Amino acid sequence: MNKFFWFFILLFVTGLIACSKEEMIMPFRAFEKPATFPEPSYRMSSNPITKDGFELGRKLFYERMLSSNNTISCGSCHIPTAAFTHHGHSVSHGINDLLGTRNSPPIMNLAWSTSFMWDGGIGDLDLQALAPITSHVEMDETVENVIQKLRNSSVYPALFQKAYGSSEISTTRFLKSISQFMLMCVSSNSRYDSVQRNPNSIFLNESEERGYTIFKAKCNSCHTEPLFTDQSFRNNGLNPSVRNDKGRYLVTLNPTDEYRFKVPSLRNLKYTAPYMHDGRFFTLDAVLSHYTSEVSQTPNLDPLLQSGTVLGIPLNNNEKADLLDFLETLNDRSFVTDSRFFEQ
Amino acid sequence: MKRLIFSSILFSLVLSSCKKEDVPDYNTNVKGPLSVEFDNVVGTTDLQLVTGNYTNASGESFKVTKLKYYVSNFSFTRLDGTIYTVPQDESYFLINEADASTHEAEFDLPEGEYKSVSFTLGVDSIRSTMDISMRTGVLDPTLDGGDMYWGWNSGYIFFKYEGTSPVSAMGDYLYHIGGFGGYSSATLNNIKKISLDLTARGTPKVKSGKLTNIHLFADLLKVFDGPSTVSIATHPMVMFDAYSATIANNYVRLFTHDHTEN
């Protein structure tokens, strides 16, 4: 009883603060490394994040002039309420409704990413925007043209002036502004995170606790805490589709990389369906069924998915249910509802 | 009095210039201008974009519509064997056949006589992975509409060679050669180091106040006819793919020193 009382008081106070926040001019919350996260991989000192830089980056992120016919922005396929994925789309439709070949990945915790895209073809966050802008099925534009359009616009020179002290719009400033926005998209407020920050709390129920134990035994070696990816490239035994996407091989040409894709984070799965590099699974049940009974022996199948002649990860139905309960604790509602990340 | 001073200055100038002609008097603390000219040719003829019709050793006729390549990291060796390395920030050039203003790489070199030049065909891996703010000018990945950069697989296209040929099933051939070795795991490395002797066809004598020019030929036939024979019919399109190494191993012999203008 007492506990409930305090809980409601806390809720009430939180509500009050939230209300008053909206009335006030929100102070800029700078990039902060969550206490339980490692040091960022991105060279933070090469691109100091400022309020004006972040806001410019946000505007660019939702800027349709980035595409050749001014219809598609980054936000078209990376929707903030879907943890910046294209929720419900196996693959995305870009310019003129042309289809891509891979599932739009979330934009979250990229400061800790060592490579980008499903195949890791991009080695630096600052270079990431070049790919969708120039892709013929995404934005089909040149960055040169984009920068020209920004220079000719009535708003951008002033915004660059604000962010960088002069109105010059250079490739570096353009790309680094978008990086600033993406770097700020940190998701670290799931229930799992609360538990990590306060191990004495009782936020996990019994089923979630059991799921966590299963996770640590059977998933954590690839989907490593706290980012829930070890950033490696692995073949998880998906049957190649007609397209026969060979994944990381395309960027390394190394036969041992055939059919390997980047291990995705397990954070925010609630918002990021469908799953896998080609979005073939619409539900987490389908994903777990894949791991328990549908793993195929394809070239470079990850050794962790085979023991002797047995393929996949053994899980009974109770274990699956517990695991799904645990995965639920990795959803960060505050991240997908954070208005700082929305188009303004 | 004034006239006397003027005359004596004139006299000493004449004297010193005479001296220059006879015995070069180099001051390595003083720099002089040197240009390296990249003259693109096909065999024994000057390259004519679009209009020129050429034939490789396999008997395949072809035309050239585009030729662009990066040359970088220049160093020059003096007769005494000491090496002058051009400061890296000033050592990247994009040669574009369609733009005559790009055909010469220009340097300021310590005075002296040089016996060889070395450079890289392509962009070294360190620069290829440097912060974007360190890659401006010809190294801007968005240059010419991003024509010399792979956005999907971060890296410069070192050598871009395109044209038409009746032996190609698709009517044209496209060679986009790059690969600096990879950001995180090893992959294609088509960075080629070129060293050219300059003694046989005239050593450059660099001196302040005069322009010295090293005239190189880049013979496109070498792309097809080298250690390996590259056939347009068999390989009309080579981009980021293992076969690009074969082409790069051919084009490492692209350059020859034709002459020096002192």
HEC-encoded secondary structure of chain A: CHHHHHHHHHHHHHHHHHHHHHHCCCCCCCCCCCCCCCCCCCCHHHCCCCHHHHHHHHHHHCCHHHCCCCCCCHHHHCEHHHCCECCCCCCCECHHHCECCCCCCCCCCHHHCCCECCCCCECCHHHHCHHHHHCCCCCCCCHHHHHHHHHHCCCHHHHHHHHHCCCCCCHHHHHHHHHHHHHHCCCCCCHHHHHHHCCCCCCCCHHHHHHHHHHHHHCCCCCCCCCCCCCCEEECCCCCCCCCCCECHHHHCCHHHCCEEECCCCCCHHHCCCECCCCCECCHHHHHHHHHHHCCCCCCECHHHEECCEECCCCCHHHHHHHHHHHHCCCCHHHHCCHHHCCC
- The predicted pLDDT at position B13 comes to 46
Q: Are residues A125 and A202 in the same domain?
A: no
Pairing verdict, β B255-261 and B212-219: antiparallel
Domain boundary among A186, A206, A238: A186
Does A127 contact B133 at a Cβ distance shorter than 8 Å? no
Q: Are residues A285 and A228 in the same domain?
A: yes
Any idea which of A121-125, A198-202, A212-216, B184-188 has the lowest mean pLDDT?
A198-202
In a domain, residue A26? The reply is no
* pLDDT of B15 above 70: no
Q: Are residues A229 and A99 in the same domain?
A: no
Report the alpha-carbon distance of residue A106 to residue A332 in Å, rounded: 13
Best of B139, B140, B148, B153 to disrupt the A interface by mutation (most A CBs within 10 Å)?
Answer: B153
In this predicted complex, what is the ipTM?
0.85
Chain B residues with CB inside 8 Å of A123's CB?
129, 154, 183-184
- Closest residue by Cα to residue A163 from A90, A59, A71: A59
- The predicted pLDDT at position B253 comes to 96
In a domain, residue A233? The reply is yes
Q: Are residues A157 and A238 in the same domain?
A: no
Report the alpha-carbon distance of residue A145 to residue B199 in Å, rounded: 47
- Tokens coding B236: 């009309």
Q: Which residues contact A201 (CB under 8 A, 6 or more apart)?
A: A194, A195
Report the alpha-carbon distance of residue B68 to residue A244 in Å, rounded: 33
Taking CB atoms and an 8 Å cut-off, how many pairs form between chains A and B? Answer: 89
Q: Are residues A272 and A149 in the same domain?
A: no
B184 vs A43, A114, A144: nearest CB: A114
In a domain, residue A318? The reply is yes
Does B144 contact A144 at a Cβ distance shorter than 8 Å? yes
Pairing verdict, β B172-178 and B237-238: parallel
Does B151 contact A176 at a Cβ distance shorter than 8 Å? no
Q: Are residues A202 and A162 in the same domain?
A: no
Chain B residues with CB inside 8 Å of A251's CB?
152-153, 182, 187, 240
CATH number at residue A211: 1.10.760.10
A134 vs B146, B185, B187: nearest CB: B146
Domain boundary among A186, A203, A221: A186
**Which chain B residue has its CA at the smallest distance from A233's CA?**
B185
What distance lies between CA B65 and its chain's CA centroid? 19
Q: Are residues A52 and A134 in the same domain?
A: yes
The answer to whether the CB of A331 falls within 8 A of the CB of A271 is yes
Does B151 contact A253 at a Cβ distance shorter than 8 Å? no
A20-28 long-range Cβ contacts below 8 angstroms, 24+ apart: A26/A340, A28/A54
pLDDT band at A277 (very low <50, low <70, confident <90, very high): very high
Chain A residues with CB inside 8 Å of B176's CB?
none
* pLDDT of A25 above 70: no
Does B132 contact A121 at a Cβ distance shorter than 8 Å? no
* pLDDT of A283 above 70: yes
Report the alpha-carbon distance of residue A44 to residue A110 in Å, rounded: 12
How confident is the model over A214-224, as a mean pLDDT? 97
Does A171 contact B149 at a Cβ distance shorter than 8 Å? no
SS3 for chain B is CHHHHHHHHHHHHHHHHHHHHHCCCCCCCCEEEEEEEEEEEECCEECCCCCCCEECCCCCEEEEEEEEEEEEEEEEEECCCCEEECCHHHCEEEEECCCHHHCEEEEEEECEEEEEEEEEECCCHHHHCCCHHHCCHHHCCCHHHHCCEECCCCEEEEEEEEEECCCCCCCEEEEEEECECCCCCCCCECCEEEEEECCCCCCCEECCCCCEEEEEEEECHHHHECCCECCCCCCCEECCCCCHHHHHHHHCCCEEEEEEEC
Report the alpha-carbon distance of residue A59 to residue B13 in Å, rounded: 64
Chain B residues with CB inside 8 Å of A124's CB?
129, 131-132, 154, 183
Q: Which residues contact B143 (CB under 8 A, 6 or more apart)?
A: A144, B94, B149
B132 vs A145, A172, A253: nearest CB: A172
The answer to whether the CB of A225 falls within 8 A of the CB of A35 is no
Q: State whether residue B181 sits within 8 Å of chain A by CB.
A: no
Report the alpha-carbon distance of residue A335 to residue A110 in Å, rounded: 14
Summarize pLDDT for B67-104 with one digit per residue, the tens.
999 999 999 999 999 999 999 999 999 999 999 999 99
- Closest residue by Cα to residue B223 from B248, B202, B201: B248
B154 vs A127, A134, A145: nearest CB: A127
**Which chain B residue has its CA at the smallest distance from A148's CA?**
B145
In a domain, residue A342? The reply is no
Any idea which of A188-192, B3-7, B129-133 has the lowest mean pLDDT?
B3-7
How confident is the model over A232-260, as a mean pLDDT? 96
Q: Which residues contact B136 (CB under 8 A, 6 or more apart)?
A: A170, A171, A172
**Which chain B residue has its CA at the smallest distance from A257's CA?**
B185
- The predicted pLDDT at position A6 comes to 60
Q: How far is A116 from chain B (nearest CA, A)?
A: 10
Report the alpha-carbon distance of residue B109 to residue B26 in Å, rounded: 11
**Which chain B residue has its CA at the smallest distance from A133's CA?**
B151
B78-87 long-range Cβ contacts below 8 angstroms, 24+ apart: B78/B112, B78/B113, B78/B114, B78/B115, B79/B112, B79/B113, B79/B114, B79/B115, B79/B203, B84/B109, B84/B110, B84/B114
Q: How many domains does chain A have?
A: 2
Report the alpha-carbon distance of residue A49 to residue B131 in Å, rounded: 16
**Which chain A residue has its CA at the smallest distance from B137's CA?**
A171
Q: Are residues A153 and A122 in the same domain?
A: yes
Chain A residues with CB inside 8 Å of B143's CB?
144
- With an 8 Å Cβ cutoff, the interface of chain A facing chain B consists of 43, 46, 114-115, 117, 120-124, 126-127, 130-131, 133-135, 142-145, 147, 170-172, 175-176, 250-254, 257
- The predicted pLDDT at position B230 comes to 97
Summarize pLDDT for B154-211 with one digit per residue, the tens.
999 999 999 999 999 999 999 999 999 998 888 999 999 999 999 999 999 999 999 9
Q: Are residues A180 and A54 in the same domain?
A: yes
In a domain, residue A142? The reply is yes
Q: State whether residue B129 sits within 8 Å of chain A by CB.
A: yes
The answer to whether the CB of B180 falls within 8 A of the CB of B148 is no
Best of A66, A113, A251 to disrupt the B interface by mutation (most B CBs within 10 Å)?
Answer: A251
Torsion sign across C-alpha atoms A187, A83, A281, A204: positive
* pLDDT of B20 above 80: no
Q: Are residues A156 and A125 in the same domain?
A: yes
Q: Are residues A203 and A105 in the same domain?
A: no
- The predicted pLDDT at position A23 comes to 45
* pLDDT of A141 above 90: yes
Report the alpha-carbon distance of residue B232 to residue B238 in Å, rounded: 10
A121 vs B149, B153, B186: nearest CB: B153
pLDDT band at A22 (very low <50, low <70, confident <90, very high): very low
In a domain, residue A157? The reply is yes
B142 vs A121, A126, A142: nearest CB: A142
Domain ranges, residue A235: 191-333
**Which chain A residue has its CA at the smallest distance from B189's CA?**
A252
B154 vs A121, A135, A147: nearest CB: A121
Does A252 contact B182 at a Cβ distance shorter than 8 Å? yes
In a domain, residue A13? The reply is no
Does B145 contact A145 at a Cβ distance shorter than 8 Å? yes
Does B187 contact A147 at a Cβ distance shorter than 8 Å? no
Summarize pLDDT for A48-83 with one digit per residue, the tens.
999 999 999 999 999 999 999 999 999 999 999 999
Q: Which residues pair with B78 in a beta bridge?
A: B114
Report the alpha-carbon distance of residue B180 to residue B155 in Å, rounded: 7
C-alpha triplet B142, B146, B150: angle, nearest 5°: 110
* pLDDT of A198 above 90: no
Q: State whether residue B130 sits within 8 Å of chain A by CB.
A: no
Best of B126, B132, B144, B156 to disrupt the A interface by mutation (most A CBs within 10 Å)?
Answer: B132
In a domain, residue A8? The reply is no
How confident is the model over A185-210, as a mean pLDDT? 90
Chain B residues with CB inside 8 Å of A300's CB?
none
The answer to whether the CB of A104 falls within 8 A of the CB of A92 is yes
Summarize pLDDT for B110-146 with one digit per residue, the tens.
999 999 999 999 999 999 999 999 999 999 999 999 9
Q: Are residues A268 and A180 in the same domain?
A: no
Domain boundary among A186, A218, A233: A186
Summarize pLDDT for A319-339 with one digit per residue, the tens.
999 999 999 999 999 999 999
Residue B209 carries which side chain, given as an amino acid letter?
A: G
- The predicted pLDDT at position B25 comes to 87
* pLDDT of A104 above 90: yes
